[in-house]
Each structure stands twice: as C-alpha cells, then as structure tokens.
C-alpha cells in the first residue's frame, strides 16, 4: 500500500493522532483531522492551523455528514477516534459499542460509498488477545478471548474491517499496539501517577498489586511503525503487532515517576480490590507482543520499555511545567 494523496486522521487531535499528523504534515501530505474533542485538544494540532495543507474539522465519526465532509477526496483513512480508555467500559458498558464498533462501522460505510478513500489504517490493541497463554504473543495466536469490553470492541472492529475489505474492495492495515506513551498523553499509568503525586507527594496509590508487567512503546516508535507497516503491507487485510521487546512492571514505573519528579520517601499503597491483583476489572496483567513480523520487514523499536517510560515521564512533566 502506498502513502500518497490526501489523508484523513480521525481522532487526529488526540495523543497518538496528533503525533501522526505532525509526521504526515512534515512529509508534505495534505491532512484532514476529524475530532469531536471529547479527549483531544486543539493545542495538539495548533502548529498546523492556518497551514494550506491542513484542515481541522470538529465533528463526530458517528455523524455521516461530518464524515462525508472530512473524507472528501481523501485516499487513506487513519481511523484512531475511539474510546481509548480501557477502564471506561467497566462503568459504562455502551461506550465501546458506540465509540469503537459503531463509529468504525460508520467510517467503513462512508469508505464504501467514497470513490477515493479505499485504504484504512486502524489502531487496534494488544487487549484483543486477552490473557494469552503464549507470550510474546504473535499475530496468529488464538482463539482471541478479550477480557475487557474495550478489547472486545476492537476485535469486533477488526472482524468488520476484514469483511468490508473482502466484500467491498477496501484494503486495510490493522495495528495491535502495546501501551503507547509520550508527550500529549492524557491517560494511562504514567499520567495517573504524576497527577496523584502532584496532589500528594508523600503517598502514591497503585491500582492492583504493582506486579502487572507490560510492554510500553514510545509514541515516536509507534508513528514510525504506523507508516512503515502501511508501505510494507502485502495482504488486502494485514495485521501487525507493534510494541517493544521487553516488559516493565507497574512498581518500576512508579519508582521512575517518583525519581523523575525528584521526590523522596513516597509510600506506595496498593489497591487490590480486583481479583488476581489486577488494576481494574478487565486489566490484562502480563502483556508482551511478538513483533517478529514487523522486524522481518525491517522495522524495530528504537526504545525499550524502560526507556519509553522514562522519556514519556520527562515529556509529560515538561508539558505540565509549561502549562503552570
């Protein structure tokens, strides 16, 4: 598949989306962003506003008119807009159905109708694997048994995308991302710890037993993989795992955040009210993706999990300092 022509980035004012927009714009591609600003921010794309190759549409993927306007003359759709918070489904069981499954269906329907937009790039997740018995987990692992509504919704999206590709002539690349970290991130464990420690620098509440151990990838590596995989994809519907090759546990992340904030004698308190020491209902405790498929094609992450976590902590702290 080729990276050329005008592109649409849904969710392009969010964390990963805005970093992707930066790289697409720097490559000289015309970019349209469609974002409802539920979690995104105009500030993330402020540097491009007024640029002739850039258009920001504040609108919703669930709204056909907004989608139609945003997709006009586009060749590639990077569909990132979603409920990105795994935890949200525990208290609102409809959010993943609407923001992930239904929104993706709307995007696919509009692509089916469009004369130009025939290539979809979709951000899926490691959570589709559930609690895999094979770690590192390869793309062909199965059966896939997600343990969160978020993971279930992304798996449903993948299935629907595959069917649209085979029935209606679309082509798609699906990325199953590990935990992505970096500047502009407004959710996840690093963000959570920084905020708790800003409110109380002597005590840190850790969700779960702290032994949850997962792969973290810096957003720069994520965006790099995004474009690399697209250009290398051979199949009409291609799936790639994207992550780092090691894991880091939550206790280590807590120590890094404490260190980077220059704090001492912080007491760690564990909230272990969810079975198995998980952080929340639906939390997968151990995750590491087998990335050999991407590596064989020539991509590899520049940062490991520890480096990614440390760099992201520094970047977020720097942003927060700038804002205060």
In whole angstroms, give the CA distance from residue 116 to residue 118.
6
**Which one, 36 or 305, has the nearer CB to ligand NAD?**
36
CA nearest to 281, candidates 187, 151, 153, 147:
147
**Which one, 76 or 266, has the nearer CB to ligand NAD?**
76
Backbone CA torsion sign across 195, 197, 203, 209: positive
- State the minimum distance, in angstroms, from the CB of residue 125 to ligand NAD: 4
**Which one, 165 or 242, has the nearer CB to ligand NAD?**
242
Angle between the N-to-C axes of helices 189-199 and 250-260, in degrees from 0 to 180, rounded to the nearest 10: 50
- State the minimum distance, in angstroms, from the CB of residue 287 to ligand NAD: 11
- State the minimum distance, in angstroms, from the CB of residue 13 to ligand NAD: 5
In whole angstroms, give the CA distance from residue 158 to residue 174.
7
Distances, alpha carbon 137 to alpha carbons 134, 212, 304, in Å: 5, 16, 17
- State the minimum distance, in angstroms, from the CB of residue 123 to ligand NAD: 3
- Interacting residue ranges for ligand NAD, rule: CB under 6 A: 10-11, 13-17, 34-40, 60-62, 80-82, 84, 99, 103, 123, 125, 177, 179-180
For residue 61, how many other CB atoms are within 10 A of its CB? 26
For residue 179, how many other CB atoms are within 10 A of its CB? 27
- State the minimum distance, in angstroms, from the CB of residue 309 to ligand NAD: 12
In whole angstroms, give the CA distance from residue 117 to residue 309.
36
Q: Is 245 in a helix, a strand, or coil? A: coil
In whole angstroms, give the CA distance from residue 102 to residue 119.
19
- State the minimum distance, in angstroms, from the CB of residue 130 to ligand NAD: 15
Beta strand residue intervals within 29-101, DSSP E: 31-35, 54-58, 74-79
- State the minimum distance, in angstroms, from the CB of residue 66 to ligand NAD: 8
**Which one, 81 or 147, has the nearer CB to ligand NAD?**
81
**CA quadruple 53, 44, 100, 305: dihedral, nearest 10:** 120
In terms of Cβ atoms closer than 10 Å to its own Cβ (0-12, 13-18, 19+), residue 166 is exposed
**Which one, 183 or 266, has the nearer CB to ligand NAD?**
183
**Which one, 82 or 204, has the nearer CB to ligand NAD?**
82
**Which one, 11 or 30, has the nearer CB to ligand NAD?**
11
**Which one, 100 or 266, has the nearer CB to ligand NAD?**
100
- State the minimum distance, in angstroms, from the CB of residue 251 to ligand NAD: 20
């Amino acid at each position: 598949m080729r990276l050329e022509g005008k592109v649409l980035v849904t969710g392009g004012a969010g964390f990963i989306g805005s970093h992707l927009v930066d790289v697409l714009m720097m490559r000289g591609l015309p970019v349209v962003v469609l974002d409802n600003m539920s979690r995104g921010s105009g500030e993330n794309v402020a540097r491009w506003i007024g640029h002739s190759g850039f258009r920001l549409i504040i609108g919703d993927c669930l709204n056909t008119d907004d989608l139609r306007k945003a997709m006009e003359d586009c060749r590639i759709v990077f569909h990132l807009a979603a409920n990105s918070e795994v935890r949200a489904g525990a208290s609102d069981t409809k959010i993943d159905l609407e923001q992930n499954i239904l929104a993706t269906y709307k995007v696919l329907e509009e692509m089916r109708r469009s004369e130009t937009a025939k290539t979809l790039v979709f951000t899926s997740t490691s959570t589709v694997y559930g609690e895999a018995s094979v770690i590192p987990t390869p793309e062909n692992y199965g059966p896939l048994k997600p343990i969160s509504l978020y993971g279930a919704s992304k798996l449903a999206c993948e299935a629907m995308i595959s069917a649209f590709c085979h029935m209606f002539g679309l082509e798609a690349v699906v990325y199953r991302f590990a935990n992505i970290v970096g500047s502009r991130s407004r959710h996840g464990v690093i963000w959570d710890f920084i905020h708790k420690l800003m409110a109380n620098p002597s005590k840190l509440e850790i969700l779960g037993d702290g032994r949850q151990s997962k792969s973290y990838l810096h957003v720069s590596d994520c965006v790099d993989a995004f474009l690399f995989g697209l250009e290398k994809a051979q199949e009409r519907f291609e799936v790639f795992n994207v992550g780092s090759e090691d894991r880091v546990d939550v206790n280590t992340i807590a120590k890094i955040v404490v260190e980077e904030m220059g704090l001492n004698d912080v007491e760690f308190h564990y909230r272990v009210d969810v079975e198995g020491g998980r952080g929340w209902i639906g939390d997968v405790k151990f995750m590491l993706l087998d990335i050999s498929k991407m590596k064989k094609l020539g991509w590899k992450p520049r940062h490991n999990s520890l480096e990614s976590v440390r760099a992201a902590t520094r970047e977020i702290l720097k942003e927060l300092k700038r804002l205060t």
